[in-house]
Structure 1
Amino acid sequence: MQNVRKIGFGGGCHWCTEAVFMVLKGVAKVEQGFIGPQGDIDNLSEAVIVHYNAEVIELKDLVAIHLDTHQSTQNHSMRHKYRSAVYYFMKEDEEFLKLIMNEFQKELSTPIITSILPFGQFKSSEEKFHNYYLSDIEKPFCKTHISPKIQLLKEKYAEHVATKVS
C-alpha cells in the first residue's frame, strides 16, 4: 500500500480505540498498547498506533473520529491511564494537527483537552488482548463499551467504515 503513514491516538481503553480504527477503510494496521511522549517516555498510557493510507482516509478524518469516540473534552480520575492525546511521528504533522484541533474546537462549547505530543515510546499490550473487539463482539465489554462507538461511526462516518463490520 502506498502512502502509508502512522499516527498515535490515546484517550480511552486501548481495546475501544483499537476497534474504532480497525473498522475504517484505509487503515492498514492498528497496534494496541501504551505510548509515552517524547521527553517523558516513562509516562505511558493506553493508546494505539494507526497505520493508514492517506490516499484513502485523511488525517483530519482520523482526528475527528478520535475526538468523537472518547471523552476529548473531559478530565477524569483515570486520565493518567487514559491520556487524551494525538502522537505525531513526523514534525511537520504537529502544525497541521494544531490547525485541525483549532477547527474542531470552534464547533464545541467545551474546551478540547486532547494534547498533541511527539511520539516517544511504544510498548505493545499482551497479544491475547489484540483484536479484542473483532475477535468476539458478543463479549459483555464489547457490547456495552465498544459497539456504541462502532454504531456512532456507522452513523456519522459511514463513508469511512468498512462494509465487513457487523
Structure 2
Amino acid sequence: MKLPVLRSMGCLCLNAAIAVATEKGLYSPVIRDCAELSVRGIGDRARDLAEKARQGRLKAEEMSDGTFTVSNMGMLGVESFTAIITPPQAAALAVGAVQHEPVADAGQGDLVVIPRMRLTLSADHRVFDGADAADFLNTVRDYLEAPITLVATGDDE
C-alpha cells in the first residue's frame, strides 16, 4: 500500500522531512520518495535517520529537498500545535498527543470516552488549495481510524 501524497509543484512526490530533537538542536532529515515506500519502509528509514541525527552523523544531502514536514510533539505531551512550513516545502503536518476525551455516542446518545489525536496541516496555498489539504487530512484520518488498510496489501519493502 503506497501512502497518500500531496501534489507538489504539479508532480506526485513526497520527500518527507521528520523533525528530530537532539541535544544539539532540531534536525530535519528527509525520507525521499515516500509515495514509493511501504509503511514498514518509511518506518525503517525514519528510525535510521533519527538515530543518525541523534548521533550527529547526518550528511547535508540527508537534510535537503524535503517537500513536506511531519512534526510530532505529541510524544512530548503537547495536545495540539501549528507546525511552520520550512521553505521551499509545501506543507507541514503537526501531530499532537492522543488524549482520552468524553464524547456523545451518535447512535445511543451515551457519553463514552474515546482516544482522540489532533492533526494540524499548514499548507502553502501557492502550491495547492485548501480542498487538497482537506482531502489529505481526511485520507490520513481514514488510515488512522482503520490502520489495517495501510498494511493489508502485504507490501513488505
- Please indicate the TM-score interval, normalised by the length of the shorter structure: under 0.3
Structure number with the bigger relative contact order (C-alpha 8 A, sep ≥ 6) is 1
Give the TM-score normalised by the residue count of structure 2: 0.27
